[in-house]
Structure 1
Amino acid sequence: MDVVEGFWVRVSTPLPQLPTAVLVGALVAAGAVVLAPALWRPARTVVTIAHEGAHGLVALAAGRRLSGIRLHSDTSGLTVSAGRPTGPGMVLTCAAGYTGPALFGLGAAALLAAGHAVGLLWALLGLLALLLVQIRNWYGLWAVLATGAVVLAVTGWLPPSGQAAFAAAGTWFLLLAAPKTVLELQRARRRRAAPDSDADQLARLTRLPAVLWVGFFLLVDVGALLLGGWWLLG
């Protein structure tokens, strides 16, 4: 009980606010990863994990049965769920992918602004553990385990201030990366390289134009970036 109590105190105790210089430094570092092609390519797998994880969480919340998640080395992914092929549950599940990383980032920004950086990292480990049991291919297994190992190392080896700085960089990364993936989606759609994208599936489900769904994704992601940035820096 003492161990559990000590762990809970460690996770739930608010930390002092990070200095603005550290938050701005984390923003610059995250922006460099998003903008540099050599860094973006491997880091994009983290966005795919959040994307497919959001599909899975919303599918379960909508009463669908989750059959498995696959992550691929080209940074694409696939979440399979069973249930009605149409209706609100399917629409929400499809819409969750491109908005999920931004909303995860917004939630992380709220926790950081409240001083709960350590709790944020442990919550992330819990979500990765839940995702792990749904992974159905070797690359996906490796990607989730590697991401979890990095977060676990940070929680075990860095002091609370270092954990907070890492959490800030990860939060900025999700907030900045989410809109970029939507722009990549639209570029692929213009080349007719993504006929079964989330936006096109939503168009078939709702009879609203796919480009309208792309605009919705972008609106949510940019809104989350602006609000999350205000919480962190305002």
Structure 2
Amino acid sequence: MVSINGLGDLWDKLLGAQPDPPPLLVLVTAVVALVVVATRLPWRVARNAVTIAHEGGHALAALLTGRRLHGIRLHSDTSGLTLSAGRPTGPGMILTLLAGYVAPSLVGLAGAWLLGGNRITLLLWLAVVLLLAMLVLIRNVFGVLSLLVTGGVVLAVSWYAAPQVQAAFAWTGVWFLLLGGVRPVVELQRLRSRGRMPQSDADQLARLTPFPALFWVTVFALVNLLALAVGAALLAGPILTDAGLTI
């Protein structure tokens, strides 16, 4: 049986703030994340995390707008599919389509806000909880394995790793979501310009609204770039503090 004192210690660990990371850690993790996003093979592997956030955004928006969620499929080519039922038009469908491409960056922004308050443990445990919640919605084997591996890595780091390793892992992950949220939008427009994604989220939004697909691609890009700018300012707090500046 877990004692009240033990629960109190666990609660304090979860909600407590960790020390400020060294400014060098913030810079190095940003560079590592940028290299992963910018290079082909690392991006090909790490993009699965962006796909998880993308499909999670669709699923959450569908649930919040009253649509019936049938499940999520994640594929080995880093694509994904979220199936929901409800009105094929209207605000619910529009918000569900809109949520996918902006979800990774918004998740990254939420993570940056937590790291701005040095809530590293809380961030890692929230990530595990969200991945477990999403797991019950997965409808294919690769998707289950992808979430189990991702959640297992996050859980292992949060439970066994030294505080410095946890900090490096958390800052790298959040930088990756902020930076990695921008690249799929660029890829989307590149593929659209070649006529290779006629059923993209942007094209479906164009059919449901008076605005063309390029408008929605621009919306995705602006939201993600704004999230990157604000998130970067939050993550750069230790560097600014070290330089005697404030955000």
TM-score category of the 2 structures, normalised to the smaller one = over 0.9
Note the alpha carbon deviations across 1:182-207, whole angstroms, 9 max, x for none. 00000110111111100011101113
- 1:214-233 aligned at under 5 Å gives the runs 214-233=217-236
TM-score (norm 1): 0.98
Structure 1 residue aligned with 2:128, among 120, 125, 149? 125
Equivalent position of 2:241 in the other structure: none
- Is 1:16 paired with 2:14? no
Partner SS, residue 194 of structure 1: coil
**CA–CA separation in structure 2 for the residues paired with 1:128 and 1:203:** 31
Determine the structure 1 residue equivalent to 2:52. 49
| Structure-1 separation of matches of 2:93 and 2:35 | 36
Query: Is the Cα contact below 8 Å between 1:118 and 1:160 reproduced in 2?
Result: no
1:153 maps to: 156
**Deviations for 1:1-58, whole angstroms, at most 9, x for unmatched residues?**
4443322111100111212110011001111111110111011111000000011111
Alignment partner of 1:60 is 2:63? yes
1:120 deviation in Å? 0.3
Partners of 1:31 and 1:176 within 8 A in 2: yes
Is residue 35 from structure 1 mapped to residue 38 from structure 2 by the alignment?
yes
Are 1:168 and 2:171 an aligned pair? yes
Partner of 1:113 in structure 2?
A: 116
Displacement, 1:85? 1.1
Query: SS at 1:222's partner residue?
Result: helix
Q: Within 1, Cα distance between the matches of 2:90 and 2:182?
A: 27
Aligned length: 234
Structure-to-structure mapping, 1:1-12, within 5 angstroms? 1-12=4-15
Q: Distance in 2 between matches of 1:207 and 1:62?
A: 21
CA distance in 1, matches of 2:158, 2:19: 17
Residue ranges of structure 2 left out of the alignment (5+ in a row): 238-247
- DSSP 3-state at the match of 2:82: strand
- Among 76, 85, 93, the alignment partner of 1:82 is 85
Q: Secondary structure of the equivalent of 1:16?
A: coil
| Structure 1 counterpart of 2:42, one-letter code | L
Partners of 2:24 and 2:171 lie apart in 1 by 12
SS in 1 for 2:181: helix
* Distance in 2, Cα, partners of 1:8 & 1:163: 18
Contact 1:17/1:113 (<8 A) preserved: no
Provide the aligned C-alpha RMSD in A. Answer: 1.0
Matches within 5 A, 1:133-212: 133-212=136-215
Report the TM-score, using the length of structure 2 for normalisation: 0.93
Identity %: 52
